[in-house]
A and B are shown apart, each in its own frame.
Chain A
Amino acid sequence: KAGVTQTPRYLIKTRGQQVTLSCSPISGHRSVSWYQQTPGQGLQFLFEYFSETQRNKGNFPGRFSGRQFSNSRSEMNVSTLELGDSALYLCASSWQGNQPQHFGDGTRLSIL
């Protein structure tokens, strides 16, 4: 059974640009959650999507947004990139948002 797939694995951007990250959940999973991992803040919840609707949101600015498609694949967008956005972005899926969540290997975003 294929796991959670995130693309790309690595990305380098400059300040002010925008970026889109992609996540394909485990087949049959309808809930997709996104997390940011940094050395200082650890793993922090960004938002969760279920059936193309955002059901839950963490404490991040509006520059961070996402969406989910009818096949449950999800994308995350960050606009007007800042140096502090450099992080590992992790996507996790579960059947209905219940636990446990299963994680992808992440996208490493570096801002220059």
Chain B
Amino acid sequence: DQQVKQNSPSLSVQEGRISILNCDYTNSMFDYFLWYKKYPAEGPTFLISISSIKDKNEDGRFTVFLNKSAKHLSLHIVPSQPGDSAVYFCAASANAGGTSYGKLTFGQGTILTVHP
């Protein structure tokens, strides 16, 4: 049972335009969500996170939106740059109750290509 899903394996965007990456989850116990970026031969790099008490979080060019009723989150990158080309992973954790210490559940990833 895949609890975190990224249904788009790839996304291609022109430089300067908006990139929107989507993620759906099924476990209602998830209360904290993160986005990571991964280049080949490197570990995932943390980008931005959001708690379930919020519906939006911004950090520079990156904004994450959370729709709890739809169990859906998205990452917006504006404007997109060629250096943003990488694999993007959505991840979730269930922090309440202290039963999921240190455990992230990941989606399968979306390959973002930003063309100059």
A interface residues with partner B (beta carbon < 8 Å) = 4, 6, 31-33, 35, 42-45, 48-50, 55-56, 58, 90, 92, 94, 97-106
Give the size category of B's interface with A: 20 to 34
Chain B proximity of A76: nearest CB distance (Å): 14
- Give the complex CA separation of A105 and B44 in angstroms: 8
With A42-B109, A43-B89, A98-B95 known to touch, is A103 a contact of B45 (CB < 8 Å)? yes
Q: Does B32 contact A (CB under 8 A)?
A: yes
Q: A99-B49, A103-B44 are in contact. Are A56 and B95 (CB under 8 A)?
A: no
* Contact between chains at B44 and A90 (CB < 8 Å): yes
Q: Kindly state whether residue B17 has any CB partner on chain A within 8 Å.
A: no
B43, B46, B95: the one contacting A105 at CB < 8 Å is: B43
Q: How far is the CB of A94 from chain B (nearest CB, A)?
A: 7
C-alpha gap A32/B101 in the complex (Å)? 10
The secondary structure that dominates the B interface is: loop
List residues of chain B with CB within 8 A of the CB of A6.
43
Task: Please judge, given known A-B contacts A99-B32, A102-B46, whether A45 and B104 are in contact too, CB under 8 Å.
Answer: yes
| Residue B100 lies at the interface, judged by CB distance under 8 Å to chain A | yes
Distance between Cα atoms of A94 and B101 in the complex (Å)? 11
Task: Collect the chain A residues with CB atoms within 8 Å of residue B104's CB.
Answer: 33, 35, 43, 45, 92, 99, 101
Q: Which of A42, A90, A101 contacts B46 (CB 8 A)?
A: A101
With A92-B102, A99-B49, A104-B43 given, can you name 15 additional A-B contacts, CB distance below 8 Å? A35-B104, A42-B106, A42-B109, A43-B44, A43-B91, A43-B106, A44-B106, A50-B101, A50-B102, A55-B101, A55-B102, A99-B93, A101-B46, A101-B104, A102-B46
Residue of chain B at shortest CB distance from A94: B102
